[in-house]
Amino acid sequence: MAHRLAIGLFLVALLSPIAGGLVISAPPLGENRRLAATPEVTWAGLRDASFFSAYERYFNDHFIYRRFLTRAKNWIDFHLFRVSPATKVHVGLDGWLYLRESFPDPARESCDDVEILTLAKQLHELDGVIDASGRTFFLILAPDKPTIYPEYVGPLPTRSHCAKSRYQLLVEALAEFPVKHFVRLDLPLLHAKAQQQLYYRTDTHWNPSGSMIVAETLLQQLSPSRWREYVPTVDLDTTPSFSGDLSRMLALDLKESAPFIKDIRYQADVHVTTRKSLNDDRPWFRITAVPPTEAPLLPKTILYRDSFMSLPLEMIKGSFTRLDAVWTYDMLDPDAADDLRTSRLVLFEMAERYLPLVSFDVPAIAAALRETTPP
């Protein structure tokens, strides 16, 4: 009897994932990645065995017990051993999580960074090209969380031979190859963090409090004499159950108390149109604003951006006659070509960790700008 029971339990354990997978979909873990799709059965795939490899990836991602087992392992790793169950996430101190790629490259032998120096030269040339076209260029660099909150990083497995952040390296390079309107966000954020928390603990981004600092700093650069007129009234509240992208990458439901935007009241009537959507979570917007009086707004503007500008965008979008917010670093993107040509202000925001990956074809951008003059 005992043998039969053991055999029965073995068969249930062996067959239940397959049987369950046929009738039940495994709930997603929210890992900030796309799960493997169901592979298509083709003769070519069967012949070269690529179908079986694809099906194995699909089964591993959708296997019925995957959510439970993954969460159990990750819970043990994080809560009992205080180690990160995800290679992309670093577990810091006091519940602070960091994206590993936001730290300096441990393979860097010195602070001589050729890519960042090359980028600074390109930005300097780009500034001149945009200025010569009759437009004004603003460079916005979003500091990674370790640049603003290094005190919660804790021990790292490996450290870079250069203790300087990419942000510091670019600032030094821009001293040699200046950009006239470099919106430095590190200094106001470092100054303000003594009064309030500016980044989420469980997310890579700044929170609404940090976003307000960013929005005001940017508006001060765009309109030094009138910027206060463009600052909206922002009502914040607090939620005890915020869980950010780094928590999702760990496949854990880590909660923190964090501010959220309850209401924003602009000085103008704001209209938003979605122009394009990339993967459903990277929308491009055209935002127009109409003030209730003849008070002037900022001129037509294009903003090249990433996810860091999502919250600050909510706070500045009532400040422009027209603002095209495009989620790309490619200034030659054909979908944004007309937006660039018809803009007087060109804002380029990028995250610090992407600095080594960004480059500009300055001659091609110059040629594109020569085709038209700004309005």
What does the pLDDT read at residue 137?
Answer: 98
CA separation for the pair 375, 367 (Å, rounded):
18
What does the pLDDT read at residue 19?
Answer: 47
**Residue 160 pLDDT class (50, 70, 90 cuts):** confident
What does the pLDDT read at residue 63?
Answer: 58
Phi and psi, residue 354, nearest 5°: -90, 0
Q: What is the pLDDT of residues 298-318, one digit of tens each?
A: 999 999 999 999 999 999 999
Q: What is the mean pLDDT of residues 185-197?
A: 97
Collapsed DSSP state (helix, strand, coil) of residue 103: coil
pTM of the model: 0.83
CA distances (Å), 83 to each of 60, 69, 90, in order?
23, 17, 8
Highest mean predicted confidence (pLDDT) among 16-30, 94-108, 187-201: 187-201
